[in-house]
A = this chain, B = another copy of it.
Amino acid sequence: MAEIEMGQNLKTLNNTIAKQNRSGFQEHHIFVLNIMGSPGSGKTTLLENILPVLAEKLRIFVIEGDLATQNDAERIRKTGVNAVQINTNGACHLDARMIQTEINRLDLNSIDLLIIENVGNLVCPISYDLGEDLRMVILSTPEGEDKPLKYPSAMLHTDAVVLTKTDLAQYVDVKIDTMKTYIHQVNPKALILEVGKFDGAFAVNEVISYLLEKIAAWKG
């Protein structure tokens, strides 16, 4: 009981700061995307492939979350997009205060799109609002068909699910249609996008179009 109350207090505090973040983003006309998924689901690889196209139209900044290493921020910077790395030192998710600390250091007038890549985890990040406008959960086909049913909170609290590594489905006995059925069984409203590597190139057009549409609709 005490544990539940403590958890509730932390969530309430997080939600308060997330609201402050959201107000700040709105004031500066910044669209914010929160990307979540298991370790190795393909979050950073997706970003590496969509950023060069998106950066032609938008001024982008990326916040990377990990327990340790600067690896992902370095990978992002190689695409030409600026990025900062948050090391959570043990915490299994980013929280609104970590984001607030970072945005206080940024020139918000120079950003149109802020992308936050959360810590690799299909559970913890889901219940922490960071002040984002859109959520994407990345699920890779080698994780297995039944993962949408086994991690329902991740499916429920997202706008879109990006199925990655669809080219590997054939090697791991995973049927993509079954995975989609399970996603919609948990959340009929979730949009499902697919990403795979074919002939050496990542097919990411669906994700790029979806994001540009969402940002255009939000701008009004």
User: Residues of A at under 8 Å CB distance from B?
Assistant: 3, 6, 10, 38-40, 66-69, 71, 90, 92, 119-124, 127, 140, 142-144, 146-147, 149-153, 165, 167-168, 171-172
Contacts and interface: CB of A to CB of B under 8 A. Distances in A.
Contacts of A66: 150
Nearest to A91: B123
A133 to B, nearest CB: 25
B67 A120 contact: no
B67 A153 contact: yes
Given A39-B143, A40-B144, A92 B152 contact: no
A92 B168 contact: no
Given A68-B150, A144-B40, A168-B142, A121 B119 contact: no
Please give me the 6 A-B residue pairs with the lowest Cβ-Cβ distance, nearest first. Answer: A40-B143, A92-B123, A40-B144, A142-B142, A38-B38, A38-B39
Contacts of A119: 123
Number of copies: 2
B92 A150 contact: no
A31 to B, nearest CB: 27
Nearest to A173: B197
Contact of A153 (B90, B147, B171): B90
Given A3-B10, A168-B168, A172-B168, A140 B92 contact: no
A45 B144 CA distance: 11
A114 B143 CA distance: 25
Nearest to A87: B150
Given A90-B123, A90-B153, A121-B124, 13 more contacts: A6-B6, A39-B150, A40-B142, A40-B147, A66-B150, A67-B123, A67-B153, A71-B150, A92-B123, A120-B150, A123-B124, A142-B142, A167-B171
Nearest to A119: B123
Contacts of A69: 146, 149-150
Contacts of A168: 142, 168, 171-172
A150 B38 contact: no
A140 B147 CA distance: 15
